[in-house]
């Protein structure tokens, strides 16, 4: 994975590192999304890694601000866990001389694990890939809400020990996120 990352970085720098501001009108994003979380395990901490794709589409209001909506699908490489949020996105392309950093905020609802809030701010850099395309590399944080059953241990009349649900609770998970993708 490190080789792929460095190859993409080299290709982006070789083409051009100075991006033009996007033009007003339709704009779309397709990204390779990665989320990483360190979780307490039974004997040691474990890494939970999700990878997948996200896409969002909307309108470039001004050369520096985009508003749109999107969906993301990420699957865990170790567990049977998925992240499937739908979100509203606000993306700002800044320009400081020849440099073009960006800020991105996604707010929505996660459709998996009983549903919950989805919030993902990130920052990054945009590389120009021609007149209307750019390569975006960004890092940030993803917060995903979920719900779970609260269980109670009880003894059955036959003398067996069993579990029964006594309610539901909500919580959230925070992931370090890394995205690389194109805008068009």
pTM: 0.81
Q: Is the model more confident about 43 or about 11?
A: 43
Across 2-131, the runs of DSSP E, i.e. the strands, are 25-40, 45-62, 65-76, 82-83, 85-93, 101-110, 116-128
C-alpha span between 144 and 118 (Å, rounded) = 5
Residues in the chain, how many? 184
The predicted-structure confidence for 38-80, as pLDDT tens digits, reads as follows 877 677 777 889 999 999 999 999 989 999 999 999 999 888 8
Comparing CA positions, the residue from 89, 88, 93, 86 lying closest to residue 72 is: 86
Tell me how far the alpha carbon of residue 30 is from its chain's centroid: 12
What is the pLDDT of the chain when averaged over all its residues? 87
Comparing CA positions, the residue from 29, 9, 51, 50 lying closest to residue 134 is: 29
Please give the pLDDT value at position 97.
84
Please give the pLDDT value at position 14.
45
The predicted-structure confidence for 117-141, as pLDDT tens digits, reads as follows 999 999 999 998 877 899 999 999 9
């Amino acid at each position: 994975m490190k080789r792929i990352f460095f190859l993409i970085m080299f290709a982006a720098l070789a083409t051009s590192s100075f991006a033009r501001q996007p033009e007003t009108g339709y704009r779309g994003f397709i990204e390779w999304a990665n989320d990483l979380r360190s979780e307490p395990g039974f004997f040691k901490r474990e890494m939970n890694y999700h990878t997948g794709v996200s896409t969002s589409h909307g309108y470039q209001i001004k050369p520096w601000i985009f508003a749109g909506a999107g969906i993301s699908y990420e699957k865990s490489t170790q567990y049977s866990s998925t992240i499937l949020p739908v979100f509203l996105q606000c993306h700002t392309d800044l320009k400081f001389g020849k440099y073009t950093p960006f800020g991105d905020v996604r707010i929505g609802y996660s459709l998996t694990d009983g549903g919950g809030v989805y919030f993902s701010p990130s920052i990054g850099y945009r590389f120009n890939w021609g007149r209307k395309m750019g390569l975006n590399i960004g890092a940030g944080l993803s917060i995903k809400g979920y719900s779970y059953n609260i269980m109670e241990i009880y003894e059955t009349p036959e003398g067996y020990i069993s579990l029964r649900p006594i309610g539901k609770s909500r919580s959230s998970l925070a992931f370090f996120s890394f995205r690389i993708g194109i805008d068009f």
